[in-house]
Amino acid sequence: MRSQPLAITTMRSARGRRHRPRRSGLGLLVGVFLVVGLLASGTTNPRPAAAAAADPVRERGVVVHVADGDTIDVLVDGDSAPTRIRLAGIQAFEIGECGADIATDRLRELVLDERVTLRAADPNSRSLGRPIRSVHLDVDGYGEVDIVELLLLEGMGLWFPFGGEITDTADYNVAATHAIREQRGIWQDHLCGRGPQFGHPIDMWVRSDADGADSQNLTDEYVRIVNRHETEAFDLTGWLIRESSQFPRDIPDVEGYHFPSGTIIPPGELLTVRVGSGSDTADELFMGSDAPLFDNSHRSLHSDTHPRVDLGVGDGVYLLDPLGNVRDAYTWPCVVDCSTDLHGKLVIHHVEYDPPGVDTADNEYVELTNVSDQRIHLDGYQLRNIFVFHEFLLGTYLDPGEILRVTVGKGVDTRLDQYWGQDGPILRNAGDRVDVVSYDERFVDCVDWGEGRHCPWPVQVPGEGTTGALPTHPRLVAADVFLAGPFADVARNHTFVTEIGWAVDHGVTNGFANGEFRPRLAVSRQAAAAFLYRLAGEPEVTGDAGFPDVPPGHPFETEIAWLAQEGITTGFADGRFHPRRPVSRQAAAAFLYRFDGTPDVGSDAGFPDVPAGHPFATEIAWAIAEGVTTGFPNGEFRPSDDVTRQAMAAFLSRL
């Protein structure tokens, strides 16, 4: 931040006010003291008891059934029959979809047969006839835990702000954001197997707030996807985009918007998917909805004369591959680590709001400049005048000292000369403001003048100057402690925590020296040899391994020698063992089949990608018959895929 802010000027040499978010350690200190105090007192709910008692609905009962990851049956005290309850704030995937099982199982583990407290701000909140309630559970040593917040923190579902039940929605957004960033639960991008173009670099952002009234400008609500690969196209055939409510309004396919077959984004190019109707082109698609789909967030729309009114609490859009994996997510507003690299670098240099003569769209403009000594990129940001937005041209960058002019009228955009596209002037002479902000409301700069439309700063920008909200959020701190598992990267709620714990208890693995297990790391052949050798009780071994790439003194010489002498491996056709090469799923099946003594079994594995005559058909058929593996939800076995450490722990625990 500069010690002396630049003045904005007009032809009248007017001077305006400039505001930027303030960085302060006060919020962090208060948060730290709050965490310490709450944890010391054994409670995880920061709401005072009086506030909790004021809820219009506060009922107690026993959970008698878990229908899926967001629906339970509760026998409320005094009732003769259970009531089906829809959990507030979360959308779990439906039965049969990727991630549905882990959410249902986790919710069942947490609340089935437990006494819970049901709360609601509005007693009439309903979803498909079901009361919408937050669910709270008393946990010894932790106090009252909000189950929805915990499920979202664990990555068991999408953040889903319900209309009348938004009391805790900001906390729920924070929890879901942490899960996304830490790739917990459904946010593992290969939870249900590696989908097509796995690892392909893409960016996605969403414009939820159209110019003017959203209902009158449906094509101005849109999703944009950028292919960041320099040489490879991105094929979206079979993919879909959805929001938490699954687009329930007027799109016939309620699961979301499925991309048409043959949707391709060339390297470095952009695809726009608009909510309204229109004619599809190669770089622009239309969902065909006759109503807005994305809920806005207006936390910044307030002024000295107009009190803040939250017209919406935000939303999220998710990109799913053909296997159902969530490959990208974009939620708004930002609530965790909302600082941006453009702070103090991109500034609004000049606002021409009152040009000589008659104000027109062609003579009103805003200039922005890069005051840093580095190139800055503007993708994902917009110039905003209250309800009128200009999205910077894809690939726009500014080198040090360069100036970008955005004219209010219409024209052909270039990197340094761009156009708002308006028919008439929009910058009010008597008082107005312009700001630069990302679509998830991360603020960069703001300038106002006159009266009535002051910049929203100074306001608290969540996460500003911090690495995230987790260290200052008592309920999430306590929930993270509650989630502590056998390794730093294997929480209590991890999908394979039981299997990984079994591997530790049986001396199969101790993880890495830094306290991690690295569950998604591919298992090397030498590590697989070590796992099996330890599981066998570490028998005495004489002789060498017999492979030229496993010489005497090799750190896994004993384990690999035992593996070869037991006939569990014969190595490769080139005579080598290739100890560092990842173990494929078919090779793992073979190792385990031979470890079990090669029992008699048929050769029909029952997978389309393991046909009759497959070299590992017998071994894979045995693995299925013994319950060692069940394959993937789409019916494939994927024999050539690498085996992860978490999957190997699961395989061994099932022997």
Q: List pLDDT tens digits, range 565-616.
A: 999 998 998 999 999 898 999 999 999 999 999 998 888 888 888 998 899 9
Indicate the burial class of 630 (C-beta count within 10 angstroms; 0-12, 13-18, 19 or more). Answer: exposed
Residue 279 to residue 288: CA distance in whole angstroms: 10
The residues pairing with 398 across neighbouring beta strands, listed in sequence order, are 376
pLDDT tens for 387-427 read: 788 989 888 999 999 999 999 999 999 999 999 999 999 99
Residues 209, 231: Cα–Cα separation, whole Å = 33
Tell me what pLDDT residue 246 has: 57
Tell me what pLDDT residue 208 has. 86
Cβ atoms of residues 74 and 82 within 8 Å:
yes
Q: Where are the alpha helices (DSSP H) in 56-99?
A: none
Which residues make Cβ contacts (< 8 Å) with residue 322, sequence separation at least 6? Answer: 195, 196, 238, 239
Quote the pLDDT of residue 380.
Answer: 84
At a CB cut-off of 8 Å and minimum separation 6, what does 499 contact?
646, 649, 650, 652, 653
Count Cβ atoms within 10 A of the Cβ of residue 318 and give its class: 0-12 exposed, 13-18 middle, 19 or more buried: buried
Side-chain-side CA neighbours of 400 within 13 Å: the count stands at 3
Tokens found for residue 365? 């403009």
Pairing of strands 315-320, 240-243: antiparallel
SS3 content of the chain, % helix, strand, coil (to 5): 20, 25, 55
User: Where is 35: in which H helix or E strand?
Assistant: helix 26-41
- What is the rounded CA–CA span in Å between residue 479 and residue 154? 9
Identify the segments of the chain with pLDDT beneath 70: 1-55, 140-142, 163-164, 166-167, 246-255, 298-312, 456-485, 491-493
- Give me the pLDDT at residue 440, please: 80
Question: Exposure string (b/e) for 78-98, b if CB count within 10 Å is 16 or more?
Answer: eeeebbebbbbbbbbbeeebb
pLDDT for 389 equals 87
| Amino acid residing at 8 | I
Residue 67 structure tokens:
């229908």
